[in-house]
Amino acid sequence: MIVAEQKPIDEIKSFISGHKNVLVLGCGACVTVCLAGGEKEVKTLSSVLRLSEKIEIEEDTIERQCDEEFYKDIRTKEKKCDAIISMACGVGVQMAGRIFTETPIYPALNTKFMGTNDGAGEWSENCLACGDCKLGIFGAVCPVTRCSKSLSNGPCGGSSDGKCEVDPEKIECGWQLIFDRLKAIGKLEVLSKIEGPRDWSKTHSGGQRILSRKDVAEL
């Protein structure tokens, strides 16, 4: 799931300085789940802005901001505001920009990563969309995100007691995790094979990546 975090409030306020009527738009999908940009957070941000600025706020939340259709009922709101704060992830903010073409759109969040929800209020990064998933080789532990150096043939010499030398307090050695998992499933021999260099061109590089399914396309 996409995990995002609210920007510091002073940064958000700096975006809208000078604006008088602002639409604060929330998103009911990922950012609701990671407690950053759903209906509740829209209320909180709007309230704090009203208390600290002379400003009119219109609040709304749509099911998702990454699909055009969800904006249908709120398109007219553009006329009544001179700025829009999107509380969606970076994807939603950009779609909002495509819909509301005549109004400045400002992001309320920093989109951080794709990750798991490890308990109430805890999230950790697991996937960076490399485009060439090899989780099946590494026992469902990702060497790209879980190894600080994204090694394909780890561990490096800095692995000690299952911790990474980059920050032994906080960071687990991804390759220790891979080793433990492969051992548990009886596939340690995988580590004897050299994994070739990764094709990084499949990861974000040189422009926007596109995906299409012709069999589903609207005719």
Which C-beta is closer to another protein: that of 20 or that of 50? 50
For another protein, the binding residues in 164-183 under the rule CB under 8 A are: none
Q: Which of 21, 94, 110, 117 binds another protein (CB under 8 A)?
A: 117
The reply to whether 29 sits near another protein by the rule CB under 8 A is yes
Cα–Cα distance measured from residue 18 to residue 104, given in angstroms and rounded to the nearest whole number: 12
Handedness of CA 119, 3, 146, 164 (dihedral sign): negative
Which C-beta is closer to another protein: that of 9 or that of 127? 9
| Binding region for another protein (CB under 8 A) out of 36-44, 156-164, 171-179, 198-206 | 36-44
Cα–Cα distance measured from residue 59 to residue 69, given in angstroms and rounded to the nearest whole number: 19
- DSSP-derived pairing of the beta strands 2-6 and 109-119: antiparallel
The reply to whether 10 sits near another protein by the rule CB under 8 A is yes
Kindly state the DSSP code that residue 172 receives in the 8-state scheme. B
Cα–Cα distance measured from residue 172 to residue 127, given in angstroms and rounded to the nearest whole number: 16
Interface pattern 39-58 for another protein (x via CB under 8 A): xxx-xx--xxxxxx------
Helical packing angle, 39-52 and 9-16, nearest 10°: 70
Smallest gap, in angstroms, from Cβ of residue 69 to another protein? 17
Q: Which of 120, 211, 216, 217 binds another protein (CB under 8 A)?
A: 120
Q: Which of 23, 25, 34, 93 binds another protein (CB under 8 A)?
A: 34
CB 128 within 8 A of CB 144: yes
Q: How deeply is 36 buried, as exposed, middle or buried, from its count of CB atoms within 10 A (0-12, 13-18, 19+)?
A: buried
The reply to whether 32 sits near another protein by the rule CB under 8 A is yes
Smallest gap, in angstroms, from Cβ of residue 140 to another protein? 21
The reply to whether 35 sits near another protein by the rule CB under 8 A is yes
Q: Which of 33, 127, 156, 190 binds another protein (CB under 8 A)?
A: 33
| Binding region for another protein (CB under 8 A) out of 8-16, 66-74, 94-102, 145-153 | 8-16
The reply to whether 201 sits near another protein by the rule CB under 8 A is no
Cα–Cα distance measured from residue 141 to residue 54, given in angstroms and rounded to the nearest whole number: 50
Cα–Cα distance measured from residue 106 to residue 12, given in angstroms and rounded to the nearest whole number: 8
DSSP one-letter string for 60-71: EEES-SSSGGGG
Smallest gap, in angstroms, from Cβ of residue 96 to another protein? 19
Residue 83 neighbours by CB under 8 Å, 6+ apart: 15, 16, 19, 21, 22, 23, 103, 104, 105, 106
- Which stretches of the chain bind another protein, using CB under 8 A? 8-10, 13, 28-29, 32-35, 38-41, 43-44, 47-52, 117, 119-121
